[in-house]
Amino acid sequence: MTSRLASTSPTRRTVVKAAAATAAVAVPLAAAPFAHAAQAPAFLHGVASGDPLPDGILLWTRVTPTPEAVPGSGKGPDVKVSWEIAEDKSFTRVVGTGSTTASAASDHTVKADVRGLRQATDYYFRFTADPGGSSDGAPGSSPAVSPVGRTRTTPAHDAKAPGVRFGVVSCANWEAGWFAAYRHLAARADLDAVLHLGDYIYEYASGGYPADDDLLRRHEPQHEIVSLADYRTRHGKYKTDADLQALHGSHPVIAIWDDHEIANDTWSGGAENHTPETEGDWAARQAAAKQAYFEWMPVRPATEGTVYRRIRYGKLADLHLLDLRSFRSQQSGIGNGDVDDPDRTITGRAQLDWLKQGLSRSDAQWKLVGTSVMISPVAFGSVPAHLLGPIAELLGLPKEGLAVNVDQWDGYTDDRKELLAHLTDHAIKDTVFLTGDIHMAWANDVPVKAATYPLSKSAATEFVVTSVTSDNLDDILHVAPHTVSLVAVGAVRAANRHVKWLDMDSHGYGVLDVTAERSQMDYYVLSDKADANASATWARSYRTLSGTQRVERADQPVR
């Protein structure tokens, strides 16, 4: 890749300017067919940015050089793609340019890791595909120009940033609903970035989850994805969604994976949703899924080709991002009592040591930990039998009622015990876990000993966001929201005094606002995931004040 960056002198912008609201980003609609075979290359999958730094950002796009070069096809010629990044959306103040080649080897996806930018600054970027750089380019064709994206760098590592604000999402099942949550986050001008905590795509066959009768739209391919071509095709289908393109075109996205980017209940050596006899070698499937993920997502591969890494927002917050699928032991068998086995791990030794060391050495006010599965312990007490089954389906619990969530940190208690002991033994305060996965919204204290809480210590707090579309309790039961779930919520809270709030029914997203004084999660719910034009309404806010390690309700969302 070749590049040029204009020299810039550092300046400090300490707040998110309301003027950003005028910076509308051109977002393409769902992929449209070529008018004719000789048409110039096209950008059918939008643009994206991610993994911001004080002086840099990762830019992404995918170019379709010819009509047959659809995602996963392996077809299509090489094409030269140029990028430019500017301080204004009219591109009168361009600060960087570069070029690279898009080829079938990377599914015609393109990344540019741009450096030399100014800290805490908004930028605008776009790509150009040269038809002359393609062997099939039509004579005299004009270059294809992508939509314009907006992005933002982080504060300098030693900056005293006054605040940072994130959109927070997880669990977006294409067939289960529309991505209105993404549209509402894209429309906000006050976000520094969006955290995606996993299950960005789902691997199931069409009609596998949810069932055929409940589908709103079909994904591609319609069979369960197993091969590299399959995963590329599924990622490509997702990125034809206009609301998803709007999200990526409006904010940098900081993403980690969970299991469905590969297969349900993934562990290091296999998955619940993988059958070697019919679906081939697990290592090959896992490698294919990860390759497609890094091709299609604005994410820098981290240690050992995983997603655990650290992003800093000045001295206000360190964001530690975890990979809880690549190194974990197989999920415990139900009722066999090995969840406490010290030889079993959810993080792997190297990642847990990395996290502990990062927490100890951090000089940031807040230690934010992005974790794809819930760390807070959960017992289910006297939940009625007719509700325990559907809840078990969501959480991976045995339907007989044994209160062990084996796919989350409850199934790997030795790792959790070691991490929480590290927080308390080293007096590490202001640690907040940010979680997705379970299609419910929670606000929790994270107790050292749940059985004696609140008489015993809380080591941290946890905010869990619900799903964008993936089924939750009312979807499974086919009932109106907040009807039968009230009984289950009451029983869960009675058995878990560290759980301050729980919503089992809604779909939506969170907005996390962090200042030196507190970290606050505002929970927003959608009117109807089956409505492409669904509205979003503020539901609740919970915060943790600096130094307390406890969650309390806040009266209103941040403005």
Whether 267 is covered by a domain: the verdict is yes
87 DSSP assignment:
S
Residue 307 has pLDDT above 90, yes or no: yes
Long-range contacts: 395-399, Cβ < 8 Å, 24+?
Answer: 395/438, 396/265, 396/331, 398/334, 398/335
Measured distance CA(403)–CA(88) in Å, rounded: 54
Predicted model pTM: 0.91
Residue 385 is predicted with a pLDDT of: 60
User: Percent of the chain beyond pLDDT 70?
Assistant: 86
Answer yes or no: do 171 and 147 share one domain.
no
Q: Looking at residues 392-409, what average pLDDT do you find?
A: 60
Q: pLDDT-based confidence at 19, cuts 50/70/90?
A: very low
Answer yes or no: do 137 and 169 share one domain.
no
Answer yes or no: do 132 and 174 share one domain.
no
Residue 21 has pLDDT above 90, yes or no: no
Answer yes or no: do 103 and 180 share one domain.
no
pLDDT tens-digit profile of 171-190? 999 999 999 999 999 999 99
Residue 140 has pLDDT above 60, yes or no: no
Residue 397 is predicted with a pLDDT of: 47
Please give the structure tokens belonging to residue 266. 């993934």
Distance of CA 549 to the CA centre of its chain: 25
What domain range includes position 375?
Answer: 164-554
Whether 157 is covered by a domain: the verdict is no
Whether 529 is covered by a domain: the verdict is yes
Answer yes or no: do 98 and 190 share one domain.
no
Tokens 């390690």 — which residue?
A: 549
pLDDT tens-digit profile of 365-384? 999 999 999 999 988 766 66
Answer yes or no: do 192 and 143 share one domain.
no
Round the average pLDDT of the chain to a whole number and report it: 89
Residue 79 is predicted with a pLDDT of: 97
Answer yes or no: do 218 and 112 share one domain.
no
Residues 6+ apart with CB under 8 A from 383: 391, 401, 487, 488, 491, 492
Of 409, 441, 431, 408, whose CA–CA distance to 510 is shortest? 441
- Out of 121, 152, 183, pick the residue that ends a domain: 152
- End-to-end, the C-alpha distance of the chain in Å comes to 41
Measured distance CA(502)–CA(487) in Å, rounded: 12
Tokens 């039509």 — which residue?
A: 138
Answer yes or no: do 231 and 82 share one domain.
no
pLDDT tens-digit profile of 280-305? 999 999 999 999 999 999 999 887 78
Return the SS3 of 477.
helix
Residue 7 has pLDDT above 50, yes or no: no
Q: Are 492 and 539 in contact (CB under 8 A)?
A: no
Whether 520 is covered by a domain: the verdict is yes
Please give the structure tokens belonging to residue 53. 């730094």
H helix or E strand, kind and range, residue 319: strand 317-321
Return the SS3 of 45.
coil
H helix or E strand, kind and range, residue 508: strand 508-514
Answer yes or no: do 188 and 252 share one domain.
yes
Residue 9 has pLDDT above 70, yes or no: no
Q: pLDDT-based confidence at 338, cuts 50/70/90?
A: confident
pLDDT tens-digit profile of 247-275? 999 999 999 999 999 999 999 999 999 99
215 vs 7, residue with greater confidence: 215
Whether 305 is covered by a domain: the verdict is yes
Q: What is the CATH number of the domain that holds 427?
A: 3.60.21.70
Flag the least confident range among 196-200, 390-394, 479-483: 390-394
Residue 19, Cβ density class (10 Å: 0-12 exposed, 13-18 middle, ≥19 buried): exposed
Residue 23 is predicted with a pLDDT of: 33
Q: Are 175 and 73 in contact (CB under 8 A)?
A: no
Measured distance CA(314)–CA(154) in Å, rounded: 7
Residue 384 is predicted with a pLDDT of: 63
Query: At how many degrees (to 10) do helices 282-296 and 228-238 cross?
Result: 30
Of 48, 25, 186, 193, whose CA–CA distance to 111 is shortest? 48
Q: What is the count of structural domains for the chain?
A: 2
Whether 559 is covered by a domain: the verdict is no
Measured distance CA(371)–CA(198) in Å, rounded: 9
- Out of 120, 152, 184, pick the residue that ends a domain: 152
Amino acid letter, residue 437:
D
- Out of 152, 183, 211, pick the residue that ends a domain: 152
Measured distance CA(131)–CA(97) in Å, rounded: 18
pLDDT tens-digit profile of 32-41? 444 444 467 9
Answer yes or no: do 369 and 343 share one domain.
yes
Answer yes or no: do 147 and 169 share one domain.
no
Residue 406 is predicted with a pLDDT of: 85
Whether 546 is covered by a domain: the verdict is yes
Residues in the chain, how many? Answer: 559
381 vs 327, residue with greater confidence: 327
Residue 401 is predicted with a pLDDT of: 35
Residue 59 has pLDDT above 70, yes or no: yes
Residue 13 is predicted with a pLDDT of: 28
Q: What is the CATH number of the domain that holds 15?
A: 2.60.40.380
Answer yes or no: do 108 and 247 share one domain.
no
Query: At how many degrees (to 10) do helices 385-395 and 485-495 cross?
Result: 80
Whether 158 is covered by a domain: the verdict is no
> Across the chain, which distance is largest between two alpha carbons, in Å?
76
